[in-house]
Structures are given as C-alpha cells and as structure tokens.
Amino acid sequence: MKTIDELLAEGVSGKRVFVRADLNVPLDGTTITDDGRIRAVVPTVKALADAGARVVVASHLGRPKGAPDPAFSLAPAAARLGELLGAEVAFATDTVGDSATATVAGLADGGVAVIENLRFNAGETSKDDAERGAFADRLAALADVYVGDGFGAVHRKHASVFDLPARLPHAAGYLIATEVGVLRKLTDDVRRPYVVVLGGSKVSDKLGVIDHLLEKADRILVGGGMVFTFLKAQGHEVGTSLLQEDQIPVVQEYLARAKERGVEFVLPADVLVSSEFPDMKTKAPAHPDTVSADVIPADRMGLDIGPETRTLYASKLADAGTVFWNGPMGVFEHPDYAEGTRAVAQALVDSPAFTVVGGGDSAAAVRILGFDEKAFGHISTGGGASLEYLEGKTLPGLAALED
C-alpha cells in the first residue's frame, strides 16, 4: 500500500488529487455537533495543499436516497474544513455535474475544494457493478491521483471507496495509515491482559466481533442496550428494556464458549431503570431508580449501568495491557444516563494500557463528556470499519489501496 509520503516524494504540484475523506459528521440542522472526523483528515489535506496539489475532497453524509437532499448537504462540513485549514475552501453544489467540474477547474495549485455529498448520486452505493463503475468513471474525470483517507467508509464497497482507486494512481492518507497501524496492535501485537468493552444498542451489531474476540480477548465487559439480551439469555427478567429475542440462542452459545476458553465475560451487577425513555429534546430530569441487574421490574427499562457496575468495570480495566472500547454504556446523551459511559472513559484515561476508542458513538461520547482526546491511545473515526477489521474481514476500501 503506497503511503502519502511516497506520493508526496514523487511530486503532486499542479495535480488534481481526489481525497476520499469521511466528513460524515452529526448535524443539528446546519450546526456540526462533533467535528472529530473533519479534524482527522486535515493533516492529509494540508500536506497535499502545501505541496501544491489541487485537492478535491469528497465524502458521504448520512443516508440520502441517491438524490439531492438539503438536510444532508456537505456545505457545513466544507465551511468547517476551511476554518481548520485557515484557508478558503471552494464548494461544489453537485458531485459530478457542472458545478463540480467548474469548481475543480477553478482550483489553483494548493487550492482545496469539497464536492457535494457523494450519496446524492445513486451510483455511489449501487450494488450493480456497472452502475457503480459508471459513477466512478465520472469521479475519475475530476482527478489525476486518488488518496483514500475516509477510514469510516472503507468497509463499504462503494464507488468512491472501491471502484475509483482502480481507475487512478492511488495511495493511503495519514488517517488510514494510522488507523490500520492501531488495529494491527489489537490483532497481531497485543499487550495482555486484553480487555474489550462493548456497548451500544443492538447485540446483533456486535455478534461478528464477539465471535472473533472470543479467540483473542482475555476479558469482555458488556453494557448498553445490547446487555439485556445477555441478561435474558441467563434467564433474568429485563422488563421493557431493549431486547433481541432472536439472538438469545447465539448469545447463550457465546457465553458457553467464553467459559470453555477461560474468557472472563462480565455483565452488569446493577442498572439504572425508568418507566419511560428520557426526553432527549428538553433533557428534563428523568429520576431513574437503581436495581439489581437480575431483578429488573417488568414495567421498567434499563438505560445505563449502575454505580456498583461502574466500580466493577473500572476494576476490570485497571490491570489491562490493551483495551478496545466500542459502544456507550447507556443513553449518554442524557445527563441522568451518562455516568456509566463516563466511568468507562475515565477508567481508560486512568489505565496504563494501550487504549483504543472504537469510533462511532463511543468517540462522540468521549468528546461530548469533555474528555481530552490525547488521554487515550487512539480514537478511531470508524466504528463499523473497526469492528469489521477486528472480525477478520477484508475491507473493500483497504483492498483497493493495495498495489
């Protein structure tokens, strides 16, 4: 896989360099609530611009249905990228149409442009190779060189991720190089004990990684909405908590395998419960109760791990050599259900281990809760991509960058 440093050594001055970034940031209207993914691509964009390249940045945002949708415009991300670069960033109002063509043609050496949301074109995500390839052909006409730096999308077989690199000379940007290097430390060069913390809403989203990590990890801690399927699999009442009953047999098998292999599987001792989901708009006080995890009342739902579990999980992280964390412990966006996630984050900060926050909601939680990102070994920009890498899957976007 060619690195961006090798590309820069060859010379990029005057060349149009297409940077597939991940600017898929959360928005409140047109206000960016977490700019971490934009900041992550700045080193690559800046290095190319400083070397005289004409940089064309492209990304998806959200899930528009293959047609323009103002709610998913990249305009706010383009503006924020300009602020972070300290330079004007041009913005094209389409992906491969007249605006994109004119905007790219108007770039001077060292100039940067962002084209509109790639998913405004159905060809970006099409499962039809010909349709996807036709869109990649049109994107290729905008550039001379391709740099892949959108780690959060490398697990997708999309036109700008998989097909476009085959049409242009290509290299990996700084972010992808860093992400892959970190993930190798979680698979090939693990310092033990290796502790994995998994949360989030659905256990089905994590089945593949649990299956794989049962062969790798020494200890697995579970929280978030997914934990209630585990508790139910042990025969406990979970009330109205989030539950995937169809996954119970699989979860029971994993618990049995963990016991056979000597992998410590840790579930909450207590949880915070309420009769209703909290008001996420007003963030009004929810007044939750704390109950033992094995006796959740039938009319209550679990929304965070409890104080006993916070202490327990911190103790299980204290002696770790390596920690991978993916998924919050509760509804961290509401202050009454943020303490479980805060406790795990603080335990990682306090740990001497090599700590990796696996993207997605975990990365957002770290920032929203006010932690210094530098206190962690690495904060990934790609939750889904990180999980699939740890599952041992071949990621299309990484395979496409291989020579």
| Active-site annotation, residues | 37, 202, 360, 384
- Angle (deg, nearest 10), helices 75-85 and 36-50: 60
Q: Extract the tokens encoding 143.
A: 């550039």
Q: Which residue has the tokens 């204290």?
A: 318
Q: Extract the tokens encoding 285.
A: 């006080």
- Counts for the chain of helices (H) and strands (E), in that order: 14, 17
Which residues face 58 on adjacent strands? Answer: 20
Closest C-alpha among 165, 243, 235, 224 to residue 362: 224
Degrees (nearest 5) of the Cα angle 59, 117, 56? 55
Residue ranges with strand state E in 3-95 = 16-20, 27-28, 31-32, 54-58, 89-91
The Cα 24–Cα 36 span in angstroms is 10
Edge-to-edge strands, sheet with 54-58: 89-91, 112-114, 54-58, 16-20, 145-148, 170-172
φ and ψ at residue 118, rounded to 5 degrees:
-60, -30
Q: Which residue has the tokens 């990684």?
A: 209
- SS3 category, 302: strand
Which residues face 378 on adjacent strands? Answer: 356
Strands 27-28 and 31-32: antiparallel
- Angle (deg, nearest 10), helices 339-350 and 360-368: 90
Strands 145-148 and 112-114: unpaired
Closest C-alpha among 177, 183, 179 to residue 7: 177
